[in-house]
Amino acid sequence: MLQLLATVLALTAAPPPATCTYDIWTWSVVAHRAVDHRHVSKPYSEITAEEKASDWSATGCTICREDQETVAVAGTPSVLVCRHFAPQIRQALQAAVEAGARIDKLVGYRVGRSGGPIVNGKRTQYGWHAFGEALDINPDANGLYGHCARKAPAPRTSAELAGCQRRIGGAWRPEDQPARSLTADGAIVAAFRRLVDWRWGGERTDTTKDLMHVSPDGY
């Protein structure tokens, strides 16, 4: 609670940066890759509602590089995340490593239109990653699966994903790689749930299980 209060006070007291810069892309569901790459630089005072996270009033998270902070913890790669969440994410990564997790790769802040409705074969909305409010952890061992049963519970073994289709990332086999896999009762998910209040993408109730992913709602 004290840490949250300190963060809120810091956001209130600190003047906004002069500029907002970011590199953006759009996901093409036709080409199955990111397209339309471009660099944006403009006055910070001109950022739009779309460029602010849905919880911006509480966190100050935007798609601007200036609102991101590097988190580096011994035993894990460094990663860019929204400054508001940086202290909690450091604690969560440290706790996970101390509990026996092995974290070889982290993907945090990246500005892309990767969600929402599809228009002309392209996605139209930003996901949590665009605001630095998500991490993909060990994606080569925790893939994203689609066509799963709707409202299926979080999987406990790889056999429970038999009806799903892996889209990106590596095969999820927690039986073979327990230290690198994200599971509902594992060290990584537990640390992010307790210290950041983020959810795991394996707990989604739509037809997707994003087993590498943690964010405010798991989506």
Which residue reads 């990564």 in tokens?
A: 93
Tens digits of residue pLDDT in 189-207 = 999 999 999 999 999 999 9
Nearest to 107 by CA among 218, 28, 216, 212: 212
pLDDT of 68 over the 80 cut: yes
Question: How much is the pLDDT for 111?
Answer: 98
Using only the alpha carbons of the chain, give its radius of gyration.
Answer: 17
Tell me how many helices (H) and strands (E) the chain has: 4, 13
pLDDT for residue 48: 98
Question: What pLDDT was estimated at residue 16?
Answer: 86
Three-state secondary structure of 141-180: CCCEEECCCCCCCCCCCHHHHCCCEEEECCCCCCCCCCCC
pLDDT tens for 96-140 read: 999 999 999 999 999 999 999 999 999 999 999 999 999 999 999
Q: What is the pLDDT of residue 15?
A: 85
pLDDT of res. 2: 46
